[in-house]
Amino acid sequence: MKNFEIAKILYHIALYLEIEGEQFKPRAYEKAARSIEALTEDVSEIYKRGGIRALMEIPGVGESIATKIEEMILTGKLKYYEQLKEKIPVDIENLSAIEGIGPKTIKTLYQKLKIKTVEDLEKAAKERRIRKLKGFGEKSEEDILRAIEFFKRSKGRFILGYVLPLLRDIEERLRKLPEVKKVNIAGSTRRMKETIGDADFLVVSDKPEKVMDFFVHMPEVSHVYGKGSTKTMVKLKNGLDADVRVIPEKSYGAALQYFTGSKDHNITLRRIAIEKSWKLSEYGVFDKNGKYLFGKTEEEVYEGLGLKWIPPELRENTGEIEAAMKNKLPKLIDYNSLKGDLQIQTKWTDGTNSIKEMAEEAKKLGLEYIAITDHTKSLAFTGGLDEKKLLEQKKEIEKVNKELEGIIILSGAEVNILKDGKLDISDKILSQLDVVGASVHSHFNLSKTEQTNRIIKAMENENVDILFHPTGRQLQVREPYEVDIEKIIQVAKDTGTVLEINAFPDRLDLKDEHIKKAVEIGAKLIINSDSHNKHQIHYLEFGIAQARRGWAEAKDIVNTRKLNEFLKMLKH
Ligand code: DGT
Ligand code: CA
Ligand code: CA
Ligand code: ZN
């Protein structure tokens, strides 16, 4: 079993246990699932290496969960899970993905109305049967129908950060085949889009049959749509479609360019070829007599057309082609160029690892500093810290700093912005912390003006250094709250508040166009992982990708700087 399959079952168990009214167990399963999802090593490999003991080193995995993982690895199934499913036989995954439908509601809907699926739910809402339940009304039905619409729109796409490890694994296995000369993932994956519709592999090989045979027999394939000598299409067990194309070597650059897209980018590029009386296709660039000119590498294609090579993250036809013509492309922030991670949660609240464990892992990944930013008291369900606890934690951080070398831990907090824009921690305490991030975790439904003013008020607080996840969106979970983001970006610039690019795969908040706006007006940006366990720190990569898609350079991102320089860029 693959990591995503194991993680999925643990998530489902958490939901079932919550339905049953369990207090702490659901969080335990969820934490274990989150760790496993973030692992870059296969759980089955970990098990092979060190058995149950090794499994228990995964953050959040204790003996009971480790035993269950063992059963899944050895038998491909889990009895405990099968039993839970029998008791409440509903499509828990999709139902719980509908915003506003929690485990309690799922139970009520099943028991009172026999609702098992999203289709059942939609039908019941349309037939006005839900309003008859206690605690529900006409408005709940409207909300449910709206949430179902959002669900349907995002369904069928996959969050890049959660599927990329699997795709890279497949890429590596293809690369190891003796018959394969070159391999690349193209499409939206190469452009590092937030979500992808399907995965597109490109290969150069003299023995396409061998490559295709290998591809359709990979253990993650659940269905083969079609197998040919140049193109094969399959469905993977996680539901994602993947295709592989075998390309002649002399066309590889042109094919890579074509299948990387985006479609709009390609259309503009093709127009440029036509202006030169040439033809651009996935086979190469041809003159008006159909004679092949070039196409072996992507650089050849772009340069042959009179452009600088364009990084895939920019290929959305939003001005990159004009910029490449004038040699005015941004010098994008490099991957691996961050020196700090300034949003990290620990065991002190809803994180799974200790301060020390997070710091050690950050050091391993090459970071020079981190800030511990646990939640604060008004976010009660996370066990948010109050003033006293924050000061205690600051002492603990000082202690750990003395024990560790090669990494500096800053004290901080993720303070809650209250409904009126005030914070839930006093300024007296905040001024004693090294870094303060503020964020919205409640009252998502305020009017645009109220929401905007509330956030502006928080940004005007001289102790607030960073605005965390500025629009509150969660991919495939909820839309951003109504907020005048342009105004927020301007106020960030005016007040010197840094705007976060939250790297967590389902947040990626700010999004690309807003990053571009911030870069244009010179508002400061920061990329943070929002880690809740040590295996999530590498999610920073997706924040960097997001920054690149927003045309950001290293100078625009404050945590590309060394600690001293970084601290000087903060407000307080
Ligand atoms: P996705 O899969 O929805 O996340 O997005 P992409 O960009 O991976 O799109 P996909 O898989 O349909 O096709 C891969 C690339 O192939 C796409 O980015 C550009 C190119 N392509 C596909 N269809 C067309 C087309 O009709 N015209 C042009 N110019 N390019 C196309
Ligand atoms: Ca694709
Ligand atoms: Ca495709
Ligand atoms: Zn938060």
Q: Is the CB of 258 under 6 A from ligand 1?
A: yes
Q: Which atom of ligand 1 is nearest to the CA of 200?
A: 11
- In this predicted model, what pLDDT tens digit does every residue of 318-376 receive, in sequence order? 999 999 999 999 999 999 999 999 999 999 999 999 999 999 999 999 999 999 999 99
Question: Which ligand is closest to the CA of 191, given by its number?
Answer: 1
Q: Is the CB of 312 under 6 A from ligand 1?
A: no
Answer whether residue 383 shows pLDDT above 90. no
Mutate to test the pocket of ligand 1, among 191, 233, 243, 259 (most ligand atoms within 8 A of CB): 259
Q: Is 572 exposed, middle or buried (0-12, 13-18, 19+ CB in 10 A)?
A: middle
- In this predicted model, what pLDDT tens digit does every residue of 450-486 receive, in sequence order? 999 999 999 999 999 999 999 999 999 889 999 999 9
Using DSSP, state whether 423 is helix, strand or coil: strand
d(CA 351, CA 92): 25
Q: Is the CB of 198 under 6 A from ligand 1?
A: yes
> What's the whole-number mean pLDDT along residues 405-415?
97
CA distances from 324 to 193, 204, 302, 307, 317 (A): 21, 28, 9, 5, 11
Q: Is the CB of 188 under 6 A from ligand 1?
A: yes
Answer whether residue 169 shows pLDDT above 90. yes
Q: Tokens for 557? A: 């991102």
Using DSSP, state whether 508 is helix, strand or coil: coil
Phi, psi of 115 (to 5 degrees): -80, 120
The predicted structure's pLDDT at residue 74 = 96
d(CA 162, CA 539): 10
- In this predicted model, what pLDDT tens digit does every residue of 485-524 receive, in sequence order? 999 999 999 999 999 999 999 999 999 999 999 999 999 9
Phi, psi of 153 (to 5 degrees): -65, -40
For atom 18 of ligand 1, which residue has the closest CA? 261
Q: Answer yes or no: are the C-beta atoms of 486 and 521 closer than 8 Å.
A: no
The predicted structure's pLDDT at residue 478 = 87
Which residue blocks in 502-550 are alpha helix, DSSP H? 512-521, 540-549
For residue 382, how far is its CA from the centre of ligand 2 (angstroms)? 37
Q: Is the CB of 271 under 6 A from ligand 1?
A: no
- In this predicted model, what pLDDT tens digit does every residue of 533-561 receive, in sequence order? 999 999 999 999 999 999 999 999 999 99
Cis peptide leading into residue 229 (ω within 30°)? no
Answer whether residue 379 shows pLDDT above 90. no
The predicted structure's pLDDT at residue 477 = 87
Mean pLDDT of the chain: 96
Q: Is the CB of 267 under 6 A from ligand 1?
A: yes
Q: Answer yes or no: are the C-beta atoms of 242 and 198 closer than 8 Å.
A: yes
Q: Which atom of ligand 1 is nearest to the CA of 196?
A: 4
Q: Which atom of ligand 1 is nearest to the CA of 187?
A: 8
Domains of the chain: 3-154 (1.10.150.110), 158-246 (3.30.460.10), 253-325 (3.30.210.10), 340-568 (3.20.20.140)
Residue 531, strand partner residues: 344
Q: Answer yes or no: are the C-beta atoms of 520 and 319 closer than 8 Å.
A: no
Mutate to test the pocket of ligand 1, among 258, 263, 272, 280 (most ligand atoms within 8 A of CB): 263
Token pair 């700087």 is at which residue? 561
Helix (H) or strand (E) holding 412: strand 408-416
> What's the whole-number mean pLDDT along residues 416-440?
97
Q: Is the CB of 263 under 6 A from ligand 1?
A: yes
DSSP 129-161: -GGGSTT--HHHHHHHHHHHHHHHHHTT-EEHH
Q: Tokens for 422? A: 């005030």
Question: Which ligand is closest to the CA of 532, given by its number?
Answer: 4
The predicted structure's pLDDT at residue 307 = 97
Q: Answer yes or no: are the C-beta atoms of 371 and 340 closer than 8 Å.
A: yes
- Lowest pLDDT segment from 98-102, 217-221, 469-473: 98-102
Q: Is the CB of 348 under 6 A from ligand 1?
A: no
For residue 242, how far is its CA from the centre of ligand 3 (angstroms)? 7
Answer whether residue 380 shows pLDDT above 90. no
* Residues near 83 by beta carbon (within 8 Å), at least 6 away in sequence: none
Q: Which atom of ligand 1 is nearest to the CA of 261?
A: 18
For residue 260, how far is its CA from the centre of ligand 1 (angstroms)? 7
Q: Is the dihedral of CA 120, 121, 125, 129 positive or negative?
A: positive
pTM above 0.75, yes or no: yes
Q: Answer yes or no: are the C-beta atoms of 515 and 546 closer than 8 Å.
A: yes
Token pair 């086979």 is at which residue? 283
> What's the whole-number mean pLDDT along residues 131-149?
92
The predicted structure's pLDDT at residue 155 = 81
Answer whether residue 309 shows pLDDT above 90. yes
- In this predicted model, what pLDDT tens digit does every residue of 31-85 receive, in sequence order? 999 999 999 899 999 999 999 999 999 999 999 999 999 999 999 999 999 999 9
Answer whether residue 381 shows pLDDT above 90. no
Q: Is the CB of 281 under 6 A from ligand 1?
A: no
Q: Is the CB of 330 under 6 A from ligand 1?
A: no
